[in-house]
Amino acid sequence: QVQLQESGPGLVKPSETLSLTCAVSGYSISSDYFWGWIRQPPGKGLEWTASIYHSESTYYNPSLQSRVTISVDTSKNQFSLKLSSVTAADTAVYYCARHRGRTEYFDLWGRGTLVTVSS
């Protein structure tokens, strides 16, 4: 059974860098899937932030592109998100998810982790 589990600090100070990790179990992250991050501010809708395929292909939401980096660690079977210069507007539940192709739907989601940006 494939599972995704997000982890990271629940509280980040403004102007600092948010770092999250998604551990993948039951499936090799090197196999033929894309891996992505979607966030959801409290009480609001869903926003895709970034996706990655096999470490070499990355895709970013232009609204965040200057601040976001996605990467894969195949040795740990996990992928990560870094978002720099955070503000209160980056407060959200961050979900990691899997999709089969660049133009395919998200078929498996992690449970999400709430990150609050506050001093």
Residue with tokens 């600090």: 9
Contact positions with other proteins (CB under 8 A) in 17-46: 45-46
Beta strands 68-73 and 47-53 are unpaired
**By rule CB under 8 A, what string of x and - marks binding of each residue 79-98 to other proteins?**
----------------x-x-
Q: Is residue 1 a contact point for other proteins (CB under 8 A)? A: no
Q: Is residue 106 a contact point for other proteins (CB under 8 A)? A: yes
* DSSP state for residue 89 in the 8-state scheme: G
Q: How far apart are CA 71 and CA 68, in angstroms?
A: 10
2-29 burial by CB neighbour count: b if 16+ within 10 A, else e?
eebebebeeebeeeeebbbbbbbeeeeb
Quote the least distance from Cβ 108 to other proteins, whole Å: 8
Closer residue to other proteins in complex, CB, 51/80: 51
Contact positions with other proteins (CB under 8 A) in 41-70: 45-48, 51, 59, 61-63
Question: Binding residues for other proteins, per CB under 8 A?
Answer: 45-48, 51, 59, 61-63, 95, 97, 99, 102-112
